[in-house]
Amino acid sequence: MLLIVGYATILYLTVANAAEFKLVNGDIIIGTLADANEDGLIVAKEAGGFSSRIPWAKLSQETLKVVAENPKYKQFAEPFIDVPLEVRAKALEKRKPKPVQIQMPPKLDLADSKASFFSTLKTPIGIAFLLIIYIANLYAAFEVAVYKRRPTAIVCGISALLPILGPSLFAAVPAAMHHESSETQMQTYEGGGHMPTGAETAVASTLSVAKPAQAESKSLQPKVYNRGEYTFNRRFFETQFPGFFRVVLVEPEKNMVIIIKTGRSSLIAKRISRISANEVHLVLHKSGKEMPVSFGDITQVEIAYESAVEK
């Protein structure tokens, strides 16, 4: 009896909750919603049995709205419900992003294209350029003072007040000459053994050319010059041995030879063919070949008689 009452109750509820599920093709299925997922729904038919799973896209808009009223199945049916354009437009307006305001960055001021040369000297690079020129001006003044044998303090002082013009003026004037006696300078050189500098070299060269051959024969004697006592450079050879620079030797150099000793060898030369700032070129005694010798390699220079060397 109870079983019959239960079946009757289920049948009554099914009939009472029966609804029409309309499809887009016009078909109507009467029954209750048995199950639904994202693929569609299944209807428990009023006449008995279950329908196959009906896709959401095949349901009419009316049926979709009814199913969407059920919170359990709203998430499946709502995406397939057509929203009126007016409602959609209002929704878009609410979601419309705020306009982006583009702010232009500040522009840098361009340099004046009409700027003069003197205006560029006010810049840090221009000041550095002027400083370099000024230092070069003082260095040039120092070199001019040494070359022209002028007081260094005076030349540099005037050049500091008159940049560029000062060194140019001193470079144009003749070199200063010492007023000491030439004979006194030569005696100091020969007796003391120090190396002549500046005006002494010029006087010695002048005297060596001006003296006759007899005077040279009396002064030229065998002698040894050691490093430390003398500075071997171009001025040394030009002042000590001017007669050996001749192509054809005369008395007294004709019977003399120059013996130059280095750390590695000893060279016997008949004459000096040429000389530069760093080396002297010798014509060897027997072979006649030209041999360059650096001033830095020379340890001793000796003047000897040719007959003494050949023995």
Mapped to the 3 state alphabet, what secondary structure does the chain carry? CHHHHHHHHHHHHHHHCCEEEEECCCCEEEEEEEEEECCEEEEEECCCCECCCECHHHECHHHHHHHHCCCCCHHHHHHHCCCCHHHHHHHHHHHCCCCCCCCCCCCCCCCCCCCCHHHHCCCHHHHHHHHHHHHHHHHHHHHHHHHHCCCHHHHHHHHHHCCCHHHHHHHHCCCCCCCCCHHHHHHHHHHHCCCCCCHHHHHHHHHHHHCCHHHHHHHCCCEEEEECCECCCHHHHHHHCHHHHCCCCCCCHHHEEEEEEECCCEEEEEEEEEECCCEEEEEECCCCCEEEEEHHHEEEEEEEEHHHHHC
> Residue 148: inside a domain, yes or no?
yes
What pLDDT score was predicted for residue 97? Answer: 73
> Residue 177: inside a domain, yes or no?
no
Choice among 21-25, 38-42, 219-223 with the minimum mean pLDDT: 219-223
Q: Same structural domain for residues 122 and 165?
A: yes
> Residue 143: inside a domain, yes or no?
yes
pLDDT above 90 (res 193)? no
Q: Which residue has the higher pLDDT, 124 or 299?
A: 299
Q: Same structural domain for residues 133 and 79?
A: no
What pLDDT score was predicted for residue 236? Answer: 92
pLDDT above 50 (res 295)? yes
Look up the domain containing 89 and give its range: 2-93
Q: Same structural domain for residues 234 and 295?
A: yes
What pLDDT score was predicted for residue 298? Answer: 93
pLDDT above 50 (res 12)? no
Under the banding of pLDDT at 50, 70 and 90, the label for residue 175 is confident
Domain ends where: 77, 93, 109?
A: 93
Q: Same structural domain for residues 67 and 26?
A: yes
Count of domains forming the chain: 3
What is the arithmetic mean of pLDDT over 9-23? 61
Under the banding of pLDDT at 50, 70 and 90, the label for residue 205 is very low
pLDDT above 60 (res 268)? yes
Mean pLDDT, the chain, whole residue set: 77
Which CATH number fits the domain that encloses residue 89?
2.30.30.100
> Residue 38: inside a domain, yes or no?
yes
- Percent of the chain at pLDDT above 70? 75
> Residue 187: inside a domain, yes or no?
no
Under the banding of pLDDT at 50, 70 and 90, the label for residue 102 is confident
What pLDDT score was predicted for residue 101? Answer: 82
Under the banding of pLDDT at 50, 70 and 90, the label for residue 280 is very high
